[in-house]
Amino acid sequence: MTLLKIDKLKKTYDSLTVVDIPDLEIKSGKITAIIGPSGSGKSTLLFMINGLEVPSEGCIRFEGEVFSSAQSYSLTVRRKMAMVFQKPVMFNSSVYENIAYGLNVRKNDLSYKKEYISEKVGNAARLTGLESKLKQKAVTLSGGEAGRVSVARAMVTEPKLLLLDEPTASLDPQNISAIEDIVREANRTYGASVVIVTHNMFQARRIADEVIFLLDGKIIEHGSTESIFENPSDPRTRRFVSGEMIC
């Protein structure tokens, strides 16, 4: 089933078009990896999907709503997505409050009790190995710890769509593995669809069902993880996934 549909989407800064996607469908319940060189438009695409960056042309359809330069997502739809940013953003409060953020902003509408929030935060902290850090000021965390807080904050609301922009870039192998397990678990246990940007080809192979290869803002190839890595149809995909430079 289609979760998200992109139609004639373009993003242009000054006169430079950095994303140009005539059409793309992202499937529900799958983990989709976006790969591509630095500057190929991966983060910009994620920002548009999340409704944080307005398309210059075209639109994105999600949950029956359209997002374009003329129309924003409703709050209800926005709350079905969560994003982990490439550069972790820590609020000037405790790790607990940082993780609880998404639950606190919903608590009046959804009548969340304090105990419910505390249990959810505790679970997210345990999964991300942050239990002993809950009282610490988030701005004093190491880069890797802040990265894990970002993941915990995104997961805690059990979003339908989880957008991850290089969530493991500053982590050691053990933490990378832990985060990958959490993402898989979110996907399997409550059916979260995941779009993950990664520079790590091993990670894309390990975690993704589908892979999109982006180059200069355009989709060069989109297919199953196996087809992209084992039998890519475009020579540029083959060169990229094998680690060769692209001219």
Ligand X SMILES: Nc1ncnc2c1ncn2[C@@H]1O[C@H](COP(=O)(O)OP(=O)(O)OP(=O)(O)O)[C@@H](O)[C@H]1O
CB of residue 47 to Mg ion, shortest distance in Å: 9
Which residue of 43, 98, 150, 193 would you call a contact of Mg ion, by CB under 5 A?
43
- Per rule CB under 6 A, count of chain residues that contact ligand X: 11
| 12 scored as a contact of ligand X (CB under 6 A) | no
Buried b (16+ CB within 10 A) or exposed e, 133-166: bbebebeebeebbbbbbbbbbbbbbbbbbbbbbb
CB of residue 247 to ligand X, shortest distance in Å: 17
CB of residue 133 to Mg ion, shortest distance in Å: 27
Residues 138-167 that bind ligand X (CB under 6 A): none
Which residue of 6, 9, 43, 161 would you call a contact of ligand X, by CB under 6 A?
43
How distant is the alpha carbon of residue 150 from its chain centre? 11
Residues ≥6 apart with Cβ < 8 Å to 203: 33, 168, 176, 180, 196
CB closer to ligand X out of 18 and 77: 18
Which runs of E-coded beta strand occur in 28-158?
Answer: 31-35, 57-62, 65-67, 81-84
Sheet arrangement for strand 193-197: 81-84, 161-165, 193-197, 31-35, 210-215, 218-224
Range in contact with ligand X (rule: CB under 6 A) among 32-40, 64-72, 119-127, 138-146: 32-40
- Pull the structure tokens for residue 192: 């979260």
91 binds, among Mg ion, ligand X, none (CB under 5 to 8 A by kind): none
- Pull the structure tokens for residue 81: 């997505």
Residues 79-138 that bind Mg ion (CB under 5 A): 86
C-alpha dist (Å) from residue 245 to 37, 38, 176: 9, 12, 25
Which residue of 39, 143, 191, 235 would you call a contact of ligand X, by CB under 6 A?
39
Range in contact with ligand X (rule: CB under 6 A) among 22-30, 39-47, 54-62, 173-181: 39-47
| 13 scored as a contact of ligand X (CB under 6 A) | yes
Rounded Cα gap, residues 82 and 25, in angstroms = 19
Interacting residue ranges for ligand X, rule: CB under 6 A? 13, 18, 36, 38-44, 86
Interacting residue ranges for Mg ion, rule: CB under 5 A? 43, 86
